Amino acid sequence: MPKATARLQFPLGLLAICSTLAFATIARAQTPTPAQGMRVTSVSNASGFDDLTTPMIIYGGIAGGVPNAVDPTTGLGNNCAGQTTLVPCNERKILGTTNLTISFVTGSKAGRPELWRIPTTGTKVRIPPLVDPGTVAANSTATITVSWSTICTTIRDETNQTLDGNCDTAVPNTFTKIADTLKLGIDGTAVPNQSIEDAEDEKIDVQIVVANLPPNNGALSTVLNCDSGNTEGICGFNVRAGDEKVAISDLRGEPGFPNGTIIPYRQLRVFWAEGTRNPQGLTPANASGSRDLEISRPGAVAGGEISVTPQRIDGFKNDIEYAFKVATVDAAGNIGNFTDDAVSADVNLQCEGFDLRPEGCHSAMPGEVVGVLSEPMNCFVATAAYGSPIAKQVNVLRTFRDRVLIPSKWGVKFVSWYYKTSPKYARYIADSETLRAVSRVLLLPLLLYAWLSLQIGAIAALIVMTTLCVVPYGIMRALRPKDEGSVRA
């Protein structure tokens, strides 16, 4: 009986525990969730912002000269339009007449939206709203609009540097940025305009960064090759042709890229000229088009490889040559670090040849034949021979195709012939283990040559392969008995 009682008590106890947990869960679900804290929901009329940092950062970009166009909706200036030289510029440049609007969700306090500069020491400064935002309730949405002119004259850096009301007038050539933290919040006190530090108030930090991209004296902002001593920007890239598309690959960054010595870089701007393979003289003004690519992986070392998203750009015409340059776009929208014309001239000559230079090939001719970029696994015979499209040997041959064959005219012709003739042979090879084994043996010289080309260049690989073939033959001839010919006779 005691054992039976014990056996009965165990499930009853377990049932009691489960019931208690279930009741607690239901009670928690019925309890109102505490009000969420303050957070910024949108920023308008700024060059950029980063809400993934703490505190969030609002950027004002001021690179380049006086804008030649102003957006009537945002009030932001554009000094890149019609730019005929490779000087820094900004398509969303803040001006003294630009008004910054910040929307945010309030927390548990009701009151008036406010923006203040409250330094650790020194004078507290209120940045007055241009339009009275009125009083907002707790746990609601508030909006405040202030003038960039007031912000620029209020913020300070650690050296007490500031700007004038135009945000860039008389900015010295050495100016890089001002970063200052302001307090955005709700003034819940009975007496207005008395800062936002009382118990009735609530606030969050918002960092304002006004950034330039030197030089600010009209000089060019260009990048040579990876050994030229630049500290920021892209020092090498390759353009691969596809079917009505191109792929940007082998991007190599300078030591300070993409983190930046001033502020981080966010995108690469690729721009191109149609109907030419020479990118010399290519500027934003005469470009046929452009595309911004998001930086997705920074290089870990000097000259490290950079990844962007997307890598491919669509909308090109087949059988027409295009020339390319790249530039950087930082978090404040400042555009600069353009591919230098000297690099363009050097690379332009190399794209005709057998080898690619480290700086890359900056021209391409899209075409249906080189549409292999849209189907990267197409290495028919090699795939059949090695049994898998992702075999290491197939990857070597595929990379050899993309980096050595496709950039040259003779290579395009070879790839065209190969893609027309090889599929029918690949089917036979795939169905026969004997043919697969024979194909692997026959592919060995090509595989060795492809691997060497990727390591030391196509010309050097050709010399090595020729040496490997000629030297043994020469040794055999030298060791052959001199009277061998007479004995045969």
Over residues 72-85, mean pLDDT: 92
Query: How would residue 192 be classed by pLDDT, with cut points 50, 70 and 90?
Result: low
Query: Would you state the pLDDT for residue 379?
Result: 58
User: Where are the strands (E) in 9-154, listed by range?
Assistant: 39-44, 48-50, 56-61, 69-70, 77-78, 89-90, 99-105, 112-117, 125-126, 141-147
Q: Is pLDDT larger for residue 244 or for residue 408?
A: 244
With cut-offs at 50, 70 and 90, classify the pLDDT of residue 440.
confident
Q: Which of the given ranges, 41-50, 360-369, 377-386, 431-440, has the highest pLDDT on average? A: 41-50
Q: Would the pLDDT of 472 be above 80?
A: no
* Weakest mean pLDDT among 64-73, 253-262, 277-286: 253-262
Mean pLDDT of 108-134: 91
CA distances from 392 to 42, 87, 320, 375, 426 (A): 48, 45, 34, 18, 18
Mean of per-residue pLDDT scores for the chain: 79
Check: CB of residue 249 under 8 Å from CB of residue 240: yes
Residue, of 302 and 388, whose pLDDT is higher: 388
**Which pLDDT score is estimated for 487?**
43
* Domains parsed from the chain with CATH numbers: 39-211 (no CATH), 222-364 (2.60.40.10), 375-474 (no CATH)
pTM of the model: 0.70
pLDDT tens digits, 211-233: 999 887 778 999 887 766 667 88
Does 372 or 38 have the greater pLDDT score? 38
Strands (E), 52-166: 56-61, 69-70, 77-78, 89-90, 99-105, 112-117, 125-126, 141-147
pLDDT of 489 > 50? The answer is no
For residue 380, what pLDDT is reported?
64
Residues above pLDDT 70, as percent of the chain: 78
pLDDT at residue 356 in the model: 41
pLDDT at site 26? 30
Tokens of 488: 């045969």
